[in-house]
Amino acid sequence: MIIAIDGPAAAGKGTLARRLAQHLGYDFLDTGSLYRGVGLQVLRAGGDPADPKAAKAAAERLDLKLLADPDLRDEAAANAASLVAAQPAVRAALLDFQRNFARKPPGGRGAVLDGRDVGTVVCPEAEVKLFITASSEARALRRLRELQEAGQAAIWDAVLQDMRDRDARDSRRDVAPLKPAADAVVIDTTSLSPDQVFEAALAIVDAKR
């Protein structure tokens, strides 16, 4: 079984996806980390993530060590990710890896993937598609707390603005824009706890198993 979880930044996709994978004994892939890795690789080489040549070269030769780099989670990597992610050549270079993982997960039981286009482009055949969303204020507050917990200085206005800019870029791009698949179940987590989101998602998965 493939479970596709899409949605905007800091909506709770990653938390939910990890928990579902652990509960079901499935493998988990955070597809955003691939785009973050490409963005970070371009930044480290002194390049511009909006430059198609630099972004394509990084995507075709992604250094997998970067996926464990502490800088992968910071806002510079997030913004670079969203710039490289708008480019068709970058998305094409990362597609096979994601599809292979979903169809032949290492543990052989099932896969949970989270991102922006898992249900629409990467795995349109996924048995379960969830679109996890929340108000931009709720999401910015979660991201602010994450950054503060990681010991980074973070300013509310800047976090909210960055998130709105990134959502707008992810939703308006021509290639694989952020949007729910026609057959996705939308869960708004604005006033739900992580436990409530997990229970709601598990009920949907169980109904399909």
Binding to ligand CDP in span 147-166, by CB under 6 A: 166
The C-alpha atoms of residue 35 and residue 45 are separated, in whole angstroms, by 16
Q: Given the complex with ligand CDP, which of 57 and 170 has the nearer CB atom?
A: 170
Q: Of residues 4, 16, 78, 140, which one binds ligand CDP by CB under 6 A? A: 78
The verdict on 142 binding ligand CDP (CB under 6 A) reads no
Position 115 contacts ligand CDP (CB under 6 A) = yes
Q: Find the binder of ligand CDP among 20, 58, 170, 205 (CB under 6 A).
A: 170
Q: Least distance in Å: CB of 159 to ligand CDP?
A: 11
Positive or negative torsion for Cα 62, 110, 123, 73: negative
As measured in angstroms, the least distance from the Cβ of 98 to ligand CDP is 8
Residue 138 has which token pair?
A: 């709720």
Interaction between residue 36 and ligand CDP (CB under 6 A) = yes
Min CB(206)–ligand CDP separation in Å:
25
Segments in 67-193 forming alpha helices (H): 75-85, 88-103, 136-149, 156-172
By CB under 6 A, residue 10 contacts ligand CDP: yes
By the rule CB under 6 A, 56 interacts with ligand CDP: no
Q: Which of 3, 58, 81, 93 binds ligand CDP (CB under 6 A)?
A: 81
Show Cβ contacts of residue 177 under 8 Å, excluding neighbours closer than 6 positions. 116, 117, 170, 171
Output the CA torsion sign for 147, 153, 157, 158. negative
| Rg, C-alpha atoms of the chain | 16
> Are the CB atoms for 56 and 93 separated by under 8 Å?
yes
Chain contacts with ligand CDP (rule: CB under 6 A): 9-10, 31-32, 35-36, 78, 81-82, 85, 115-117, 166, 170
